[in-house]
Amino acid sequence: MDAFFAAVEQLDEPALRGRPVIVGGLGPRGVVATASYEARVHGVHSAMPTALARKKCPNGIYLRPRFGRYREISDRVRAVLRRHASVIETISLDEAFFDLSAAGRIDEEAVEIARRIKEEVQSETALTCSLGLACNRFLAKLASELDKPDGFLVIEPESVRDLLDPLPVGRIWGVGRVTERRLTGLGLLRIRDLRLAPIDLLTREFGSMGPRLHELARGEDGTPIGGEAEARTISRELTYSHDLTDPDEIEREVRALARVVAANLRAESLLCRTVRVKIRYPDFRTITRQVRIGVGTDADGIIERLAVHLLHDRVTLDEAGVRLIGVGVARLSETTARQLPLF
């Protein structure tokens, strides 16, 4: 969906149409969740501190998110997808993968179905979306990003190399700012450079991620599309009005967030097999650490202990403290019964 949160606000309030709309936290530590395309021309983008956005776009309309309303529209979009695709993987409220060909080919029928989905989404929500059609997840996502807003791009297998080669390495899904700086520091500026780089060099510099980067640079991605319940995540995070520096206070926050997440699992009759902790430092560096478990759970104690274990063993805390803490769960599955605690 194109600039989804901001587009919904403009849909519900016609006076906002054509104006720069920024949705996100409005406090001194707030972060932009979505900016309309009118705001983006001023340099405002998601994950930017709201204070900086106000400097770049002082005449913008700044609004708090209304997640209930966004979820309502998102459900309508997923209803359209379900009419045309049997396998859907929801990534977030405004993004999803779906499979149109069991054979993994791009044919005329897949193109026609994709066009119909795009038209029906706009007809039933009055909002635009950008759609990418390709033979794997990475290329499909890239296609949707290269033709925005209101775009539809098909990447045929024979055109993959010509499309990818001139793009900057930052266009590869999963390459964030830190990894991009490391790649460019090695002289790998374009995806073509990465494709031609020795795999042993990439493995030495990036470990197990090295061969994966090389694979994506060739336009290859064997990651299957998962079902909706398995692709979903449940998480809760807080950005604090002041940096937290006391380790005991940070642990208390992690425990509290873990209990909230566990309660949400039980409310939706879901079990998780992955627990995650997210930490954002004052300089906006953000890390995520996770652990997998063999049996699904919705138990407060287990999720809380795993989150605290990740905090103590896999997160580095220093005197600068943290500005955001999050706890999430993934690899979800539905359950009609659950094991109750003994006490």
Distances (CA, A) of 255 to 162, 264, 315: 49, 14, 15
**Which of 95, 120, 215, 237 is an active site residue?**
95
pLDDT of residue 250: 96
Enter the tokens of residue 108.
């005329």
Q: Any catalytic annotation for residue 95?
A: yes
Is residue 208 very low, low, confident or very high in pLDDT (cuts 50, 70, 90)?
Answer: confident
Is residue 341 very low, low, confident or very high in pLDDT (cuts 50, 70, 90)?
Answer: low
Residues of the chain with CATH 3.40.1170.60: 4-65
Question: Which residues lie below 8 Å from residue 200, measured CB to CB, with a gap of 6+?
Answer: none
Residues of the chain with CATH 3.30.70.270: 67-226
- CATH for 4-65 is 3.40.1170.60
Model confidence at 175: pLDDT above 90: no
The angle that helices 108-125 and 67-84 make with each other, rounded to 10 degrees, is 150
Model confidence at 229: pLDDT above 70: no
Note the residue count of the chain: 343
Closest CA to 44 of 33, 29, 57: 57
E strands in the chain: 21-24, 32-35, 61-63, 88-92, 95-98, 131-133, 152-154, 234-244, 270-280, 286-297, 322-330, 333-334
Model confidence at 190: pLDDT above 50: yes
The fraction of the chain above a pLDDT of 70, given in percent, is: 95
Give the mean pLDDT of the chain: 90
Question: Which residues lie below 8 Å from residue 35, measured CB to CB, with a gap of 6+?
Answer: 3, 6, 20, 21, 22, 23, 44, 45, 46, 48, 53
In whole angstroms, give the CA distance from residue 31 to residue 62.
11
pLDDT of residue 230: 47
pLDDT in tens, 58-71: 999 999 999 889 98
pLDDT in tens, 263-277: 888 877 889 999 999
The angle that helices 4-12 and 67-84 make with each other, rounded to 10 degrees, is 110
- CATH for 232-334 is 3.30.1490.100
3-state SS, residue 21: strand
- CATH for 67-226 is 3.30.70.270
Model confidence at 340: pLDDT above 70: no
